[in-house]
Amino acid sequence: MSSTGATDPLAALGTLPGVAESVESVRKAVDRVYGHRIMRRRSNEITSEAALRGARGSAALSGADWALEEVRRRTDFSGEDEARTVGAALRLTAEAGQLLSIWRQSPLRVLARLHLVAAADSGLGVGRPRQDGELVDEPLVGLPLPGAAEVSGRLEGLSELIVAGGSAPALVTAAVVHGELLALRPFTSHNGLVARAAQRIVLVGSGLDPKAVCSAEVGHAELGRAAYAAALDGYASGTPEGMAVWIAHCAKAVELGARESTAVCEALQRGAA
């Protein structure tokens, strides 16, 4: 991410034009879900459904755009490339909840674990940042690929910001973590899946979405791959305007995820009536 010269650059991003409005809009959307009467009695069901839909959305952004019912029905994800992508997304969604307590102390350890879970037995380079000369499989992201030294330095900087904490809204921190990992593509594969899982960890661990019912992955998929890539270009530009566009895009994704879970609540309520 670009430096603003501030002691807390993440907090400084929260002052960009339109960001405060995005933060407030997300808070209201999340509050609507958590205030639903079904959440008081059946929140575990909403969390499980949001996890499934979030994994489906993340896989769709990585090129495996399966129908939700197909993801729900399938038990074997070891076959073709798309099946492996969906399986990786499901594993990451399950794993993210186990890493919340580690994230604030050792984010780089968490990222390595996420890649290990996603890539499984893909071969060399699993669970560690890529080295110079290693190829990266991430077709959605067309940005120039940073070298290994730049990746290492920027990952360390991101880790320091997370460990230090600060006053930045959770939405802003989640957007920066997500955008930085996509721009860097620190691993040889599955960078998009890992970036979206890390965003989930920030949103849940921050307390904004403690029950993980507002899947930003759902919203990103609904907004589409083209819009996702265009917003990422804004992040990669490092300009205030570009960063604000990316944060707004991430905010809209969270709102759409919240809307999806609200619809699930409504469906359960109708079924119980």
Q: Output the CA angle 149-151-154, nearest 5 degrees.
A: 110
pLDDT exceeds 70 at position 148: yes
Total-model pTM? 0.94
pLDDT exceeds 60 at position 97: yes
Q: How confident is residue 1, by pLDDT bands cut at 50, 70 and 90?
A: low
**Where does the chain have alpha helices with state H?**
9-13, 19-34, 37-61, 68-73, 81-96, 100-103, 107-119, 148-164, 170-184, 191-205, 216-223, 225-237, 240-272
Beta bridge mates, 189? 137
Residues of the chain with pLDDT > 70: what percent? 96
Q: Quick check: 74 and 86 in contact, CB under 8 A?
A: yes
Retrieve residue 66's tokens: 């399966």
Instruction: Note the pLDDT tens digit of each residue in 184-216.
Output: 999 999 999 999 999 999 999 999 999 999 999
Residue 27 CA, chain-centre distance (Å), reads: 17
Q: Considering the chain, what is the average pLDDT of its residues?
A: 94
